[in-house]
A = this chain, B = another copy of it.
Amino acid sequence: MADALTQLKERFGRITDLGRISRVLSWDQQTMMPPAGWRHRGDQLATLQRIHHEELTAPEIGRLLGEIPELDPASDDGAFVRVARRDHEKAVKVPTDLRTEMTRTASEARTIWVKARTESNFELFRPALEQTYDLRSQYIDCFDGVDEPYDILLDDFEPETTTAEVTEVFAELKAELVPLIAELREQEIDDSFLSGTFPIDAQERLAKEVVTLFGFRSDTWRLDPTAHPFASGAGVDDIRITTHYDPETMKSFFSTMHEYGHGLYSHQLPQHLERLPTGGPCSLGIHESQSRMWENLVGRSRPFWDFFYPRAQEAFPQQLGGVDVDRFLTGINRVKPSLIRIKADEVTYGMHVILRFELEQDLIHGRVAVGDLPEVWNERMHEYLAVDVPNDAQGVLQDIHWAQGSIGYFSTYLLGTVMSVQLWEKILEDVPDLEEQIERGEFAALRGWLGEHVHSLGRKFSPQETLRRATGSTIDPKPYLAYLRSKYGAGVAA
């Protein structure tokens, strides 16, 4: 038996390596690759995806799984076998050719989407998106006994989480967010100092400064500029975060803190499980709970800026020299419905996600046709956020996710946001002087708590079980709503 387990681990070690190699290639593509190299990179990623799928579906893995008796599911080995079985059994249902076709179409659709967005022309992108949805239907058809087809897609991003569960959470959020947004929409807040001249070299220095303050070791981390920020890496000692410097705003600073949260999670994953699937991140939702925590609960908080604001003023004297910390905090926390998800404030952000979550289901269930998307998008944006969408580039074409075939992804952003507040409350219980520590620029206790209670669990348990072990509760929107009410609109709450 030990032998079958060892062999299974060796096979999953190779599979882990292949996944990490893909991530290095993707990072390279978005930061370093000469632009024309894309043509070759598509082939390389398709080959890697095909081999990854062949390795994961190898009949030998099924045979080895059959030889291993039941193990304690909370033990390292028991959790590994459970996750290995799950990944293998899900993969074998999907033919290699379909999997490869999905990768190839995503690669082509991405290029078309870039052009369509530049020209703000949804019709250009429509055939590629129809094909993407058609492939997703074929993918769903690979699985038997499915009550809710969308569950299959969601499960790829947030494992062991159902559409019904997410819908329940989102309904509770929606019921409170819509009136809260309506109330806050009318507030007049001056944040004009956040637009102007933010020299890129100063932004770079400040980004390096904040990640070093949070805890960032240059022998294991990198920070690079890119067009669309993301975090990646190839193991706990090879962490790569990216940011985008816009010379007219300091938005890069918040995205750097966001990606830092992702990077810290990857950096503190369980080293003794590395090269096993259980040594990886739990889910995109848990991942996002980390990034949103550092971006918002730390990075838009008074304790943090009480410590850090003089540094920001020094970096951008022209913009911030005459703005005190109170005005700055009010400005960076201004609530204002807007067109673009990734630029949304903490309050309106959720509705952007809910819109996409609902639309994806409407498309999968055939309630909305791909060709009608722009119209439906614009209607719902008006309904949820009372904004008018002037064109497709700022509407239905704004996100890359659908172009790269990531259908079922968006909800994890809001799930993570909700969970970040649950985790934060628990941390405040366990580290009562956390805010004082942050006021002094000390983050070791926060990093340590997250490492011990979240990161070190890796993917041993489901996202909800991971959250339960960390906080005592599964997902619950109440703490998040209470946080928003307390921070933004105490008057609105009952």
A interface, CB within 8 angstroms of B: 13-14, 17-18, 20-21, 24-25, 28, 32-37, 39-41, 43-44, 46-48, 50-51, 217-222, 234-235, 237-240, 274-275
Given the interface contacts A13-B43, A43-B13, does A238 sit within 8 Å of B33 by beta carbon? Answer: yes
Given the interface contacts A37-B238, A47-B14, does A32 sit within 8 Å of B222 by beta carbon? Answer: yes
Give the distance in Å from the alpha carbon of A234 to the alpha carbon of B36 in the complex.
11
A237 touches B21 (CB 8 A): no
Give the distance in Å from the alpha carbon of A217 to the alpha carbon of B13 in the complex.
39
B35 touches A20 (CB 8 A): no
Known: A21-B48, A28-B28, A37-B234. 14 other contacts (CB 8 A): A14-B50, A17-B46, A21-B44, A21-B47, A24-B24, A24-B25, A34-B239, A37-B237, A37-B238, A39-B235, A40-B234, A40-B235, A41-B238, A44-B234
List the B residue with the shortest CB-CB distance to A238.
B37
A238 touches B34 (CB 8 A): yes
Contacts of A221 in B (CB 8 A): 34
Contacts of A275 in B (CB 8 A): 43
B37 touches A220 (CB 8 A): yes
Given the interface contacts A20-B44, A21-B25, A47-B14, does A39 sit within 8 Å of B237 by beta carbon? Answer: yes
Given the interface contacts A43-B13, A51-B51, A222-B32, does A235 sit within 8 Å of B21 by beta carbon? Answer: no
Give the distance in Å from the alpha carbon of A12 to the alpha carbon of B219 in the complex.
37
Query: How far, in Å, is A217 (CB) from chain B's closest CB?
Result: 8
B234 touches A41 (CB 8 A): yes
| Identical subunits present | 2
Contacts of A40 in B (CB 8 A): 20, 234-235, 237-238, 274
Give the distance in Å from the alpha carbon of A36 to the alpha carbon of B41 in the complex.
26
Give the distance in Å from the alpha carbon of A14 to the alpha carbon of B20 in the complex.
18
Query: How far, in Å, is A270 (CB) from chain B's closest CB?
Result: 14
A219 touches B35 (CB 8 A): yes
Contacts of A240 in B (CB 8 A): 34
Give the distance in Å from the alpha carbon of A380 to the alpha carbon of B237 in the complex.
44
A18 touches B47 (CB 8 A): yes
B28 touches A24 (CB 8 A): yes
B21 touches A219 (CB 8 A): no
Give the distance in Å from the alpha carbon of A412 to the alpha carbon of B218 in the complex.
38
Contacts of A25 in B (CB 8 A): 21, 24
Contacts of A32 in B (CB 8 A): 28, 32, 222
Give the distance in Å from the alpha carbon of A248 to the alpha carbon of B355 in the complex.
60
30 example contacts (A-B, Cβ-Cβ < 8 A) are as follows A14-B50, A17-B46, A17-B47, A17-B48, A20-B40, A21-B21, A21-B25, A21-B47, A21-B48, A24-B28, A24-B44, A28-B32, A32-B32, A32-B222, A34-B218, A34-B219, A34-B220, A34-B237, A35-B219, A36-B217, A36-B220, A36-B238, A37-B234, A37-B235, A37-B237, A37-B238, A39-B237, A40-B237, A44-B234, A51-B51
Contacts of A234 in B (CB 8 A): 37, 40-41, 44
Contacts of A14 in B (CB 8 A): 47, 50-51
List the B residue with the shortest CB-CB distance to A55.
B51
User: Lowest 7 A-B CB distances belong to which pairs?
Assistant: A37-B238, A40-B235, A17-B47, A36-B237, A36-B220, A36-B219, A17-B44
List the B residue with the shortest CB-CB distance to A236.
B40
Give the distance in Å from the alpha carbon of A238 to the alpha carbon of B237 in the complex.
27
List the B residue with the shortest CB-CB distance to A31.
B32
Give the distance in Å from the alpha carbon of A119 to the alpha carbon of B218 in the complex.
25
Give the distance in Å from the alpha carbon of A218 to the alpha carbon of B24 in the complex.
21
Contacts of A43 in B (CB 8 A): 13, 17, 275
